[in-house]
Every structure is written in C-alpha cells, then in structure tokens.
Amino acid sequence: MAQDSTPRQVGGGRSSLGDFAPKFAALTDDVLFEDVWNRPELSPRDRSLVTVAVLAAGGDLDQLAFHLGRGIENALTQEELIEAITHVAFYAGWPKGMGAMSTAKRVLSE
C-alpha cells in the first residue's frame, strides 16, 4: 500500500495534447493519473510494473516507451523492467516481446 510520503503521480495530457484534444487530455490527467494512478491500494512502483507488462503484452510501444521512464521514476530497476518484458514475451508472444525489448533497449540506454 502506498505511503503518505509517496509522490503524487501526475499526467502530461494537457501539456502534450491539450491544444489538439482538450477533453482527452483532461481525462488523461484528471481520471487516469490524478485518480487511478494515485489510489492507495497499489504503490506507484507496482502500478508501473503492471502497466509496463500490459503495454508490452499489447504491443503498445509508444506508450511503453513513456511508461518505462515512469517505471524508473517509480523505483523499478532496469533489470526488473527487462525481466518483466522477458516474462511477458512467453505469454503474449515472441514478436511482441521483441518489440517491447527493443523499445526498452532504446529508452533505457538513453
């Protein structure tokens, strides 16, 4: 369970899409990040691990790139992220695993 000292998770919907799709941006910031990401039942670290696994499994590589960085910010290690993607590859399919690992290599090497 998250502690009171856990930093609030904040989205960037308004800054990245607010001028183009203001309602979508508001939902991203106000519902997904302000509400869902800050619920106390899971820590930000655990939410990041789940999110990385789901995005890797779905082949959602653009969002995965963002959430790998968020995972590092939320105390996941590079080794844990690589292991999560390796594990996912056997359940979601090797091509999705390869895509996710290539994205991880690019993002985590920057």
Q: Where are the domains of the chain?
A: 7-41, 43-110
User: Contacts for 45-50 with beta carbons within 8 Å, 24 or more apart?
Assistant: 45/71, 45/74, 45/75, 45/76, 47/9, 47/74, 48/74, 48/76, 49/76, 49/80, 49/84
| pLDDT tens readout for residues 28-49 | 999 998 899 999 999 999 999 9
- At 1 the pLDDT is 47
The Cα–Cα gap between 107 and 102 comes to 9
Average pLDDT, the chain: 92
Going by C-alpha positions, the residue among 93, 47, 86, 97 that lies closest to residue 67 is 47
**Fold observed for domain 43-110:** AhpD-like (1.20.1290)
Query: Looking at residue 90, what is its pLDDT?
Result: 98
- Please tell me the distance from the alpha carbon of residue 83 to that of residue 92, in angstroms, as a whole number: 14
Q: Which residue has the higher pLDDT, 104 or 34?
A: 104
Residue 77's region, left for phi above 0, alpha for psi from -120 to 50, else beta, is: beta
pLDDT tens profile 70-94: 999 999 999 999 999 999 999 999 9
